Amino acid sequence: MGFLDTLFGRTKPVQPKLDDLFGLPSAAVQLEAAAGFKPTGSGSVSFRAPEGKPFADIQKEVLELLDMDNGKPGGGLPVEVTKDTYGYTWLVSNHLSDEIDALVTDLHAVNSALVDGGFGPQLLCTLVAFRDENQRRLSLVYLYKRGTFYPFAPLGGGNNRDNALELQVKGVLGDDLRIEQDLTRWFPVWGAPGL
Amino acid sequence: MATHTRYAPDRGLTVRMTATMFLLGLVFVVFVGLVIGIMTAAHASAAAIILVAVIFGGGSAFISLFYSDKIALAAAGAREVSPKDAPQLHGIVDRLCALADMDKPRVAIAPARMPNAFATGRNSKNSVLCVTEGLLYHSDLTQEELEGVLAHELSHVAHKDVQVMTYASLLAIVAGLLVRFAFYSEIFGGGRRGGNDGNAALLIPLIMLASAVVYAISFLLIRLLSRYRELAADRSGALLTQNPSALISALTKVSQGMNRIPTQDLRAAEPLNAFYFAPAMKLTRGGGGGGGGASLSALFSTHPSLEKRIEQLSKIQRELGQVGQDPRGLK
């Protein structure tokens, strides 16, 4: 925030950074080779739906766009829309586990549609789910405003995180993705759809 | 252009805030000029008083700025809570901070039963966001309304309001101290002066008068600035959550909740008034015929009236509902 913004008590809406998302496919390869985690094929975009009709219209357009290629190879399943307990909307895209490229393309389509509509500041995070042979859950969370990723590994049923695994993943992916260095920003996304 | 905002900045608010700060600066310059004038004309005694007031005033302002988070938490009797203690509260703050791309403040809960919240701290790394138990457990705020309140408080942090208001109050603090010091030296130093210097007898009351005037003017200007900062935080908070309606209903509910609580409780909260989401202590309004009373209380208030805040938020509400009205030519 600039000096003038402080002086006048203004906050500029923060625009999302989208490009780093395309680092995911190569990171997925690295993650499988080094830690044994495979993508489940499920990914989601989380955003804050503003009140008012303009946004509802755009959301509808995005859904129609994503569902156009259903049934074709790489098209994936219909997109699910859910609202979490914090009031954020999640668009969940489901693909086969080896279609991570198509998944990332889908996620990016959602982002760019929202940004083009002027709703970029509403994007919260994107989440891509992974699993290993022991059915341990892991997700990579992309923070739009920072342009960084962080690992989130829920443990068991309660609100526990596998911090050791998260830090291991941080080490494994350090070269492939921009990992969020400020650990206080690794907020837990309990109960995120598609996890 | 890839980056654009859908909302034009509120120019009216910016202009009014600039004017207020300009006036504060003007008063400051005049005051400093006056002080220098008096100092050169005067004796060591008057100069010493001014020097002491500046050192004390500046020092206390610096300390209160540096320890603002700890002082406010202690005054409210609040304790910091970890994500394990209050997962839902932390969850909301986490997400809002990620949306706004700002450092997450520490989170605290104060035991007061009245529904309210405040944020304080000298910078984003050292700030703390505090909500009362009344807001969390005893008010019927929905999750979205609670989020609106928290977004308002986070905007105060983002706008560095504690810093801005401390700098703005510095002059008033020094001027207030000068009045007091000059008063004491008038009482206690009266005998010593004798026939030493005729000028000094006039100087002390002069400093007192000037300081009193400066104090009064800057006090009013600071309160005005505080009200503008509240409006700015409302606006930024509503734009962050994109849900001005929830903020409006939260404001209404919290204000009503405040009115239900006995006065004794509110007086204890009064020193923190300027930080709060909604004022804990309202100056009593003149009843039916008291139009003058109402406008006077508005002049001294740290917060804008509920009507004004709702009016501004309704404007944002309308902006959100509009299609294709964007001044930047967005489709």
The helix-helix angle for B198-241 and B87-100 (nearest 10°) equals 90
Q: Which residues contact B35 (CB under 8 A, 6 or more apart)?
A: B50, B207
* Nearest CA-CA distance, residue A158 and chain B, Å: 11
Radius of gyration of chain A (CA): 17
Q: Which of the given ranges, B63-67, B293-297, B320-324, has the highest pLDDT on average?
A: B63-67
Domain ranges of chain B: 12-68+162-219, 75-161+228-321
Per-residue pLDDT band for B96 (boundaries 50, 70, 90) equals very high
- Look at residue B286 and give its three-state secondary structure: coil
b/e sequence B65-81, b meaning 16+ C-beta within 10 Å: beebbebbbeebebeeb
Least CB–CB distance from B159: residue in A6, A57, A143: A6
Q: Which of A102-111, A176-185, B156-165, B258-267 shows the lowest per-residue confidence on average (mean pLDDT)? A: B258-267
Q: Phi and psi (nearest 5°) for B201?
A: -60, -35
pLDDT digit string (tens) for A19-43?
Answer: 888 889 999 999 999 889 999 988 9
Query: Is B85 within 8 Å of B28 (Cβ atoms)?
Result: no
Residue to test with chain B: of A4, A45, A48, most B Cβ within 10 A: A48
Q: Which ipTM score applies to this complex?
A: 0.86
Superfamily name with CATH number, domain B75-161+228-321: Metalloproteases ("zincins"), catalytic domain (3.30.2010.10)
Residue bearing tokens 């203690």: B85
Per-residue pLDDT band for B129 (boundaries 50, 70, 90) equals very high
* Nearest CA-CA distance, residue B198 and chain A, Å: 46
Other Cβ atoms within 10 Å of B225 Cβ, number: 24
Q: What is the pLDDT of residue B5?
A: 44
Told to judge if B307 belongs to the known catalytic residues of this protein, a careful annotator would answer: no
- CA geometry: angle at B292 spanning B287 and B297, to 5°? 80
Question: Which chain A residue has its CA at the smallest distance from B325's CA?
Answer: A54
pLDDT digit string (tens) for A54-65?
Answer: 788 888 888 887
pLDDT digit string (tens) for B44-85?
Answer: 666 777 778 888 888 888 888 888 888 888 888 889 999 888
Name the A residues in 112-171 with CB < 8 Å from any B CB.
115, 118-122, 124-125, 143, 145-146, 159
- Which ranges of chain B would DSSP assign to H, the alpha helix? 11-41, 44-66, 68-76, 87-100, 133, 143-158, 161-188, 190-193, 198-241, 244-260, 263-269, 291-300, 306-321
B266 has a pLDDT exceeding 60: no
Residue B6 vs residues A122, B79, B240, B241, B328: alpha-carbon distances, Å = 12, 39, 12, 14, 8
Q: What is the pLDDT of residue B319?
A: 79
Using a cut of 0.95, tell me whether the model's pTM lies above it: no
Per-residue pLDDT band for A141 (boundaries 50, 70, 90) equals very high
- CA gap B69, B130 in Å, rounded: 10
DSSP conformation class of B128: E
Residues of B in contact with A191 (CB under 8 A): none
B94–A8: do the CB atoms touch at under 8 Å?
A: no
Query: Is B127 within 8 Å of B120 (Cβ atoms)?
Result: yes
- CA gap B30, B32 in Å, rounded: 6
CB of A4 within 8 Å of any CB in chain B?
Answer: no
Per-residue pLDDT band for B40 (boundaries 50, 70, 90) equals low
Residues of A in contact with B17 (CB under 8 A): 7-9
b/e sequence B103-125, b meaning 16+ C-beta within 10 Å: bbbbbbbbebbbbbbbbbbbebe
- CA geometry: angle at B265 spanning B264 and B268, to 5°? 90
B194 has a pLDDT exceeding 50: no
- CA gap A191, A175 in Å, rounded: 29
- CA gap B17, A189 in Å, rounded: 39
Name the A residues in 35-94 with CB < 8 Å from any B CB.
48-55, 57, 85-88
- What's the mean pLDDT in B141-169? 89
Least CB–CB distance from A9: residue in B17, B321, B323: B17
Please give the full DSSP string across B312-323, using - where no structure is assigned.
HHHHHHHHHH-S
- CA gap B256, B249 in Å, rounded: 11
Residues of A in contact with B330 (CB under 8 A): 118
B120 has a pLDDT exceeding 60: yes
Partner residues linked to A130 by β-bridges: A39, A138
Residue B14 vs residues A105, B6, B18, B19, B254: alpha-carbon distances, Å = 42, 18, 6, 9, 27
- CA gap B181, B204 in Å, rounded: 9
- The one catalytic residue in B153, B307, B311, B319 is B153
